[in-house]
């Protein structure tokens, strides 16, 4: 089987915003407590943060992290997480039926983000609270001093403001599960007024308004049309969320699901364009895909806690999906879709970062380890920044009940800004056959293979664990670049990254 195409240096989709490869930490399960924060752990720093986790976050080069939720934010009082720890209240978290100790708040998370070499993307509570608490939180976080909230921050030990640039106006406000769920009109009004007030503080800030929680919502895509009608001229992004699952165990259908993702993005890009024309606006609004991941392995195990049959535990084991090799291929396809649609998707957040449907797992008191999906995510983040290219590729494909002509090879290409290398991210969906790829390289000059990594040959259900990260990239062979042409055989059910340099 052959796939033939062209990569041209002039066929640029967009410059990839590095924040496309962001992630997410919510006060949920063990994401925070025994995830990023575990005083007494052998690697804990002076702030109680696990250095082994910080090292893995830095390895993945995570550019931005959304915090503190998620569903959690819709019942969260940010003031509970400031001041002396011994005076902070324990609260009942209605979102995940857990107890929140508030031992980690904005100060602790900001220190962790700095240590992990990432930036904060903060969310405000528009569920149980509203404009006034959002305005106060912004003043606390970003004002230098001389006001009530900024002086309180200084009293609590942080002299300089954090200057957080991007803010989420609530979370999944269309969802019946959300505390403070709103209709599109209700949410559009409060989001508009909140953004307007926060912009009065600083016009340079960026705001993310809530879009649909998934394309399965009954209100999709009318929700986006209504919310954007209210907010278009005061916000910068509309959020989309989507999770991927394979309860049926159908590999071909599972690995074609990014066709649904592509449709989702295309539809909302159309709503954005329509609203821009309707408003006669000169500004552009983009997509923040700030929740996405594979999520189905742990759902049954979570029911006891989420349904309230376990009382109000603190940091219970929740949403701890253990990812397999099949999920590597899925995550690779999702990331490739984001790269190909980086003209409209500017921010992305893998949900989540540690322990909770996460690429990084921890053992309390023990090691941190990389799940199988850590690797395609880290490779995209480290090598997928630059100019996304529009490839021309002819490849045999297959059809499913929801998508026609799904190509066996899913490919994205980025001309990297840091070193000028051309990086190809490739997934072969075919379950039994290799695909011989021949790619003409136009406008790149002489190139050679400078890195070639592959994940292949594993049982689809094989997983990593704290004692063995056996599902990991290794050096590949057989790819060659000569005479302006790349040739490589892509093995069945494999993830491959090939980098071409001068």
Residues identified as active-site: 172, 291
Helix (H) or strand (E) holding 426: strand 422-428
CA dist., res. 168 & res. 275, Å (int): 20
CA dist., res. 2 & res. 395, Å (int): 7
**Among candidate residues 64, 47, 65, 44, the one with its CA nearest the CA of residue 55:** 44
Is 5:391 a contact under the CB 8 Å cutoff?
Answer: yes
The DSSP letter of residue 78 is G
Helix (H) or strand (E) holding 156: none
118: tokens are 């990432």
The DSSP letter of residue 241 is E
Q: Is 20 helix (H, G, I), strand (E, B) or coil?
A: helix
- Residues linked to residue 407 through DSSP beta bridges, in sequence order: 397
CA dist., res. 70 & res. 124, Å (int): 10
Q: Is 501 helix (H, G, I), strand (E, B) or coil?
A: strand
CA distances from 433 to 104, 441, 492 (A): 50, 25, 5
CA dist., res. 415 & res. 384, Å (int): 8
Is 103:148 a contact under the CB 8 Å cutoff?
Answer: no
- Residues linked to residue 77 through DSSP beta bridges, in sequence order: none
CA dist., res. 210 & res. 355, Å (int): 25
- Residues linked to residue 342 through DSSP beta bridges, in sequence order: none
Q: Is 262 helix (H, G, I), strand (E, B) or coil?
A: helix
Beta strand 206-209 with 237-244: parallel, antiparallel or unpaired? parallel
């Amino acid at each position: 089987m052959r796939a033939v195409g062209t990569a041209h240096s002039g066929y640029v989709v967009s410059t990839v915003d590095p924040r496309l490869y962001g992630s997410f930490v919510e006060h949920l399960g063990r994401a925070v407590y025994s995830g990023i924060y575990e005083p007494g752990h052998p690697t804990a720093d002076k702030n109680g943060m696990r250095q082994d986790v910080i090292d893995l976050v830095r390895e993945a080069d995570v550019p931005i992290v959304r915090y503190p939720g998620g569903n959690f934010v819709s019942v969260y009082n940010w003031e509970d997480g400031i001041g002396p720890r011994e005076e902070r209240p324990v609260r009942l978290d209605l979102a995940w039926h857990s107890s929140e100790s508030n031992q980690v708040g904005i100060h602790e998370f900001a220190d962790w983000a700095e240590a992990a070499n990432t930036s904060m993307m903060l969310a405000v509570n528009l569920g149980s609270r509203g404009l006034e608490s959002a305005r106060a939180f912004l003043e606390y976080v970003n004002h230098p001093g001389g006001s009530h909230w900024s002086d309180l921050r200084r009293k609590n030990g942080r002299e300089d403001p954090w200057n957080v640039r991007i803010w989420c106006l609530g979370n999944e406000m269309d969802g019946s599960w959300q505390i403070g769920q709103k209709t599109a009109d209700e949410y559009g009004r409060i989001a508009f007024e909140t953004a307007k007030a926060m912009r009065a503080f600083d016009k340079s800030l960026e705001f993310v308004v809530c879009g649909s929680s998934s394309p399965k919502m009954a209100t999709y895509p009318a929700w986006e049309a209504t919310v954007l009608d209210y907010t278009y001229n005061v916000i910068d992004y509309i959020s989309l969320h989507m999770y991927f699952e394979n309860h049926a165990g159908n590999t071909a259908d599972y690995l074609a699901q990014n066709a649904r993702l592509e449709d989702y993005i295309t539809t909302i890009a159309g709503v954005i364009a329509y609203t821009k024309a309707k408003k006669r606006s000169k500004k552009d609004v983009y997509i923040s895909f700030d929740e996405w991941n594979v999520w189905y392995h742990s759902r049954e195990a979570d029911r006891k806690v989420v349904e309230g049959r376990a009382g109000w535990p603190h940091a219970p084991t929740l949403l701890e999906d253990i990812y397999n090799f099949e999920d590597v291929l899925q995550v690779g396809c999702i990331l490739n879709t984001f790269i190909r649609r980086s003209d409209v998707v500017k921010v992305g957040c893998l949900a989540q970062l540690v322990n909770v449907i996460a690429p990084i797992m921890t053992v309390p008191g023990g090691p941190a380890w990389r799940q199988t999906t850590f690797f395609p995510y880290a490779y995209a983040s480290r090598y997928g920044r630059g100019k996304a290219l529009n490839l021309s590729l002819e490849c045999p494909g297959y059809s499913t009940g929801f998508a026609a002509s799904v190509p066996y090879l899913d490919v994205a290409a980025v001309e990297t800004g840091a070193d000028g290398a051309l990086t190809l991210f490739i997934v072969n969906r075919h379950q039994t056959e290799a695909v011989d790829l021949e790619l003409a390289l136009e406008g790149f000059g002489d190139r050679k293979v400078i890195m070639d990594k592959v994940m292949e040959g594993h049982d689809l259900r094989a997983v990593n664990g704290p004692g063995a990260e056996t599902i990991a990239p290794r050096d590949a062979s057989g790819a060659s670049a000569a005479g302006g042409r790349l040739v490589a055989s892509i093995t069945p059910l494999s993830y491959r990254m090939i980098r071409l340099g001068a």
